[in-house]
Structure 1
């Protein structure tokens, strides 16, 4: 068997064995109804298949909110840094204005010491043609210097006003993002709590069956993806940076998913991919949606290890392609960083962080 298909075949085989080995499993039939002892609230699903779909949807909604939280967090960091820079510029501008005013004050004091007469009047009263011509030249230079001083003072004051206005706008943005973060955090915790509550109402046997159903869905999706012959067209090798990113990501296998986390001990999906590429020396956007929006897109047939596969129509999940039809990703709350089939979820597209690197 060609090398590039070995891992894909292994993943398919493991998924098949997991499904077939499950005791009492009869997937040709609709998912069974939970036991009568399981609390069922009005409007709640009544079959395990429906339970699984509702839990998946709640985690999907939590993923959407997590992306919103992460984006607001990144923007807050950027705005905080910008406010610090603006504050430094304001201080520097205030110090410059003080120096310019001191220079203007020195000129005024010199005129006072000369009896209050302007330099031009003093020259006319000197009666010495040579002194007059020499002084006239100095007078022009002094006037030019005074005009330059005044212009610089005006520019500095205008800059200072602009810095202050920009800082005020950044403070408003900072507060708006703080509100977004809190709303997203509330949404995340509510959705995760709702999913966990539904799971807690199931008996152990039902939870096992639920896991089997999920494995079968992923297996069916991966099998359908592979059956298109997609792997025969994928032959690109990873770039040097891509190899580093893959190594970092696979080194995190077994670490827990935590929403909003970007290492070193826990990760959400885009926290894993962004940190992997940072470790490879190529920083990328923090969220899966921004990764999809900002990074160059490549066709699936052209993807190579290290590329990022973006999932779902709203780009709310991301995994890193590692070759042979597999990805490494951080799935969702309650799970750990793991390897799974690249086609086990609906693929939106592929992006390449190091698009300029040679294969």
Structure 2
């Protein structure tokens, strides 16, 4: 892509940042303080107060984002554990059926031995009308003893397998219960943080809310401008892979849909719900949470990223967006916002990962 075109699109992204209220925290920029009236005490600086409010809101929503990752991780584990319990239950049912059949066979073998027992072999030889027939029969009995011994060994192994399946199922059930508690605790955290943020915002007057939005826009715009000014896009011209194009197409088609924590679509999304579903639609399953996406997907240099790559934000990897090219991402910001396009540098970047690496 030519430098001129890239510059135009980068400028357009900056404009988007200016007119869109971005969710993420950025550098603080307080509004200038009003000049004091002669002979009167200076009023409190509304910009500075609102900047503190903005920082408090950022921290509340960041805490909610971290708790959302905890919730999503617990939910993902619970799904895996439930599936494992189902498989173990199937093995237990099959094991019981196998054990029953083996016990029936062992019972039949024991009955046959009982019917043929009684006299010692020497007495049966003396009383036999046909010694050769007796000797032949003795060989068959010996074979029967070996078969019975093998049957008893198989019976023991089946019993041990069944006991192991039961132990595994019990362990998985305990993990599932622990996961449910973790999920419930994370949900309480999320609801508490969001409720506090919403209460804080509801206490603002209309003009304060407008000024707060301006502060968010200004912080995002300046952060994006500084990122672009670093020259990060100068050599960035990598094209998306086929799967990457599909993922971008899916993600951008969700623009305007509301953010909802724990949601994976199709009507609402959280940040990692959007990216994971976009890549699933492209035929590539990836981890559900932004933290696991950061841990388990291949990392690439920011200067080598291409559309479809995931940009991970903040030191705790609590937010993720999808790079769509020309310095922009599509992401689900936070509660009260919708899926939108933002500047890739409008939030502190931890790193970039590539779902379809290799």
Query: In the aligned structure 2, how far is the partner of 1:248 from the partner of 1:71?
Result: 23
User: Which whole-Å deviations, capped at 9, do the CAs of 1:1-55 have from their partners, x for residues lacking one?
Assistant: 4334432221124445789xxxxxxx674578xxxxxxxxxxxx97000000000
Q: Secondary structure at the match of 2:351?
A: strand
Q: Which has the higher relative contact order, 1 or 2, with Cα contacts under 8 A spaced 6 or more apart?
A: 2
Counterpart in the other structure of 1:275: 277
Query: In the aligned structure 2, how far is the partner of 1:123 from the partner of 1:157?
Result: 39
Unaligned runs of 5+ in 1: 20-26, 33-44
Counterpart in the other structure of 1:232: 234
Q: Shift in Å at residue 136 of structure 1?
A: 4.0
Check 1:231–1:118 CA distance in 2 against 1; reply closer, same or farther (3 A cut).
Answer: farther
Query: In the aligned structure 2, how far is the partner of 1:143 from the partner of 1:231?
Result: 80
Q: Shift in Å at residue 120 of structure 1?
A: 9.5
Counterpart in the other structure of 1:83: 85
Counterpart in the other structure of 1:153: 155
Query: In the aligned structure 2, how far is the partner of 1:31 from the partner of 1:180?
Result: 46
Q: Shift in Å at residue 302 of structure 1?
A: 1.3
Q: Shift in Å at residue 144 of structure 1?
A: 2.5
Farther-moved stretch of structure 1 (252-261 vs 230-239): 230-239
The correspondence for 1:329, drawn from 328, 331, 339, is 331
Counterpart in the other structure of 1:286: 288
Q: Secondary structure at the match of 1:231?
A: coil
Check 1:31–1:151 CA distance in 2 against 1; reply closer, same or farther (3 A cut).
Answer: farther
User: Which whole-Å deviations, capped at 9, do the CAs of 1:176-223 have from their partners, x for residues lacking one?
Assistant: 111111111111001000000010000111101101100111111111
Asked whether the 8 Å contact 2:301–2:351 carries over to 1, the reply is: yes
User: Which whole-Å deviations, capped at 9, do the CAs of 1:57-115 have from their partners, x for residues lacking one?
Assistant: 00000000000000001111111111111111111111111000000001112123335
Counterpart in the other structure of 2:302: 300
Q: Secondary structure at the match of 1:310?
A: strand
Q: Is 1:245 the counterpart of 2:250 in the alignment?
A: no
Unaligned runs of 5+ in 2: 22-28, 35-46
User: Which whole-Å deviations, capped at 9, do the CAs of 1:105-129 have from their partners, x for residues lacking one?
Assistant: 0111212333546889857864645
Q: Shift in Å at residue 234 of structure 1?
A: 1.6
Query: In the aligned structure 1, how far is the partner of 2:261 from the partner of 2:33?
Result: 30
What TM-score do the two structures reach when normalised by structure 1?
0.88
Counterpart in the other structure of 1:314: 316
Q: Shift in Å at residue 130 of structure 1?
A: 3.3
Counterpart in the other structure of 1:187: 189
Query: In the aligned structure 2, how far is the partner of 1:122 from the partner of 1:241?
Result: 80
Check 1:143–1:18 CA distance in 2 against 1; reply closer, same or farther (3 A cut).
Answer: closer
Q: Is 1:134 the counterpart of 2:136 in the alignment?
A: yes
CA RMSD of aligned residues (A): 2.3
Pairing of 1:100-179 with structure 2 (within 5 A): 100-116=102-118, 126=128, 128-179=130-181
Check 1:252–1:110 CA distance in 2 against 1; reply closer, same or farther (3 A cut).
Answer: same
Q: Secondary structure at the match of 2:329?
A: strand
Farther-moved stretch of structure 1 (235-244 vs 324-333): 235-244
Q: Secondary structure at the match of 1:2?
A: helix
Query: In the aligned structure 1, how far is the partner of 2:240 from the partner of 2:356?
Result: 10
Asked whether the 8 Å contact 1:234–1:301 carries over to 2, the reply is: yes
Counterpart in the other structure of 1:73: 75
Query: In the aligned structure 1, how far is the partner of 2:318 from the partner of 2:126?
Result: 81
Asked whether the 8 Å contact 1:246–1:276 carries over to 2, the reply is: yes
